[in-house]
Homo-oligomer: A and B are copies of this chain.
């Protein structure tokens, strides 16, 4: 049967409103929040895991790739099809159950991240992973990218809260994966839909902290700021949030909202300490404040929740503030050892200067996660130049012992850099695992994995699994 015939048959089986076939309808499923992909051949909007099975089988029969998709708020192209594909959009799979006795939530892939904590709140529980897009992003998308957020320094990333997964494999088989050996659930998390489609997750819930205190600190140099952070952490502080903004970022936000941020500063930190015991929260923030002052920081404490919200408004306004400078941005997402941070920020500035693009840097500095953003105008600027600079920024991270993705994933955006980040033998192991679970290469092709190396002839050179 032709591709068109297969998908028309899928539409008859599932019902007309679950399968989009018209190019105009399919067009809106080609992008994520940053990257544009290829227009899908068809889009399925499954309501059950059985619908997902049908979709995967139809794509298999048609011989076309399958690309899973949540809210498409991703920033690395994970959900943007690289080839003409069947897109499986999980936004209708929104079943959510809270099991308070077990401190678990059972969420289908399309459940919005924030909805988990909202449903858990009446039971005195919450779900900590907090990507910036948590009001729109889905659990399935968060799992695909192993999303993090400000709270992750203290509380861990998405994968740390997964107790079990339901997934549909490349052949349309349903699996129920717990976290025992082999930990295929762990392998699926962060695999960007290249090994299977996650349809449901059992998530661990925790009681929220009862008290939070906030401070802001500004520094005359990024070096002083980085030293302050290291000193606070070495002194035993584990703040719930620890956010960094560079001078360009401070300026962008101040131009936008005129919040009274210290324009003279080279670096700004925002810190939340949380816990159940007010005295201990205060003690932790005092440790942070002392370390920051000793490093030359000017510290402002929020005296009440309203002042805390005002301080955090600066960080929350970064995205719209950058949008006013240039209409588009390439949002890098590296993670480097904290000890290297000052040097990495400086080297990235130096590397970027000749290109002439506005560049701002901010991120979750507690775990060394940095987001250098290249601002550009797609109508005037050369996208090849933007990509070249992004590549050079990634190289700075790798040179300093860092990694390519703190929390946004690799997707299509940083795939080419993977070859530099991973040893050839380890890349071969990735491909061996990929080939094992998706032998026909139908699941989200051309994402995450470094381009496949030419396979050495067996026996000549030792290698993994070819």
Q: Which A residues have a C-beta under 8 Å from some C-beta of B? A: 57, 100-103, 124, 146, 159-160, 169-178, 180-184, 186-187, 189-192, 195, 207, 230, 233-234, 236, 276-277, 279-280, 337-339, 403-405, 409-410, 423, 425-426, 429-430, 432-439, 448-449, 462-466
User: Which residues of the other chain, B, contact A233 by a CB distance below 8 angstroms?
Assistant: 103
Contact in complex: B176, A423 (CB < 8 Å): yes
Contact in complex: B236, A170 (CB < 8 Å): no
Closest to A368 in B: B102
Contact in complex: A169, B464 (CB < 8 Å): yes
In the bound assembly, the distance between CA atoms of A200 and B173 in angstroms comes to 36
Knowing A184-B429, A277-B277, A426-B176, say if A437 contacts B409 (CB, 8 Å).
no
User: Which residues of the other chain, B, contact A100 by a CB distance below 8 angstroms?
Assistant: 234
A239–chain B nearest beta-carbon distance, Å: 14
Identify 30 residue pairs between A and B in the complex whose beta-carbon atoms are under 8 Å apart, listed by A's number.
A57-B462, A102-B337, A102-B339, A124-B236, A146-B180, A146-B181, A159-B183, A160-B160, A170-B464, A171-B462, A173-B464, A175-B425, A175-B426, A175-B429, A177-B426, A180-B404, A182-B195, A183-B186, A183-B189, A184-B187, A184-B426, A184-B430, A186-B187, A187-B433, A207-B236, A277-B280, A433-B433, A433-B437, A436-B436, A436-B464
Contact in complex: B437, A465 (CB < 8 Å): yes
Contact in complex: A169, B124 (CB < 8 Å): no
Closest to A405 in B: B180
Contact in complex: B187, A191 (CB < 8 Å): no
Contact in complex: B173, A181 (CB < 8 Å): no
A175–chain B nearest beta-carbon distance, Å: 5
Contact in complex: B190, A187 (CB < 8 Å): no
In the bound assembly, the distance between CA atoms of A187 and B429 in angstroms comes to 12
Contact in complex: B432, A436 (CB < 8 Å): yes
A14–chain B nearest beta-carbon distance, Å: 18
User: Which residues of the other chain, B, contact A448 by a CB distance below 8 angstroms?
Assistant: 181-182
In the bound assembly, the distance between CA atoms of A108 and B172 in angstroms comes to 41
A261–chain B nearest beta-carbon distance, Å: 30
Closest to A123 in B: B234
In the bound assembly, the distance between CA atoms of A57 and B101 in angstroms comes to 51
User: Which residues of the other chain, B, contact A234 by a CB distance below 8 angstroms?
Assistant: 100-101
Closest to A53 in B: B462
Out of B172, B181, B403, B435, name the residue touching A178 (CB < 8 Å): B403
In the bound assembly, the distance between CA atoms of A236 and B435 in angstroms comes to 45
User: Which residues of the other chain, B, contact A432 by a CB distance below 8 angstroms?
Assistant: 436-437
In the bound assembly, the distance between CA atoms of A462 and B464 in angstroms comes to 26
Contact in complex: B175, A181 (CB < 8 Å): no
In the bound assembly, the distance between CA atoms of A325 and B433 in angstroms comes to 48
In the bound assembly, the distance between CA atoms of A275 and B430 in angstroms comes to 41
Contact in complex: A191, B186 (CB < 8 Å): no
In the bound assembly, the distance between CA atoms of A289 and B217 in angstroms comes to 43
In the bound assembly, the distance between CA atoms of A433 and B146 in angstroms comes to 21
In the bound assembly, the distance between CA atoms of A129 and B173 in angstroms comes to 36
Task: Kindly name the residue among A101, A182, A230, A404 whose own CB sees the greatest number of chain B CB atoms within 10 A.
Answer: A182
Contact in complex: A172, B462 (CB < 8 Å): yes
Out of B177, B181, B338, B409, name the residue touching A181 (CB < 8 Å): B409
In the bound assembly, the distance between CA atoms of A430 and B195 in angstroms comes to 13
Contact in complex: A192, B181 (CB < 8 Å): yes
User: Which residues of the other chain, B, contact A409 by a CB distance below 8 angstroms?
Assistant: 181
In the bound assembly, the distance between CA atoms of A409 and B183 in angstroms comes to 13
In the bound assembly, the distance between CA atoms of A124 and B436 in angstroms comes to 44
Knowing A429-B184, A436-B435, A436-B436, say if A101 contacts B190 (CB, 8 Å).
no
A85–chain B nearest beta-carbon distance, Å: 20
A368–chain B nearest beta-carbon distance, Å: 10
In the bound assembly, the distance between CA atoms of A169 and B465 in angstroms comes to 10
In the bound assembly, the distance between CA atoms of A181 and B432 in angstroms comes to 14
- A sample of 20 more A-B contacts (CB under 8 A), given A184-B429, A433-B433, is A101-B234, A102-B337, A102-B339, A124-B236, A175-B426, A176-B423, A177-B426, A178-B403, A180-B190, A181-B190, A181-B192, A181-B409, A182-B448, A183-B183, A183-B189, A184-B433, A186-B187, A187-B433, A435-B436, A439-B465
Contact in complex: A191, B181 (CB < 8 Å): yes
Out of B174, B187, B464, name the residue touching A182 (CB < 8 Å): B187
Contact in complex: B236, A433 (CB < 8 Å): no
Closest to A280 in B: B277
Contact in complex: B181, A463 (CB < 8 Å): no
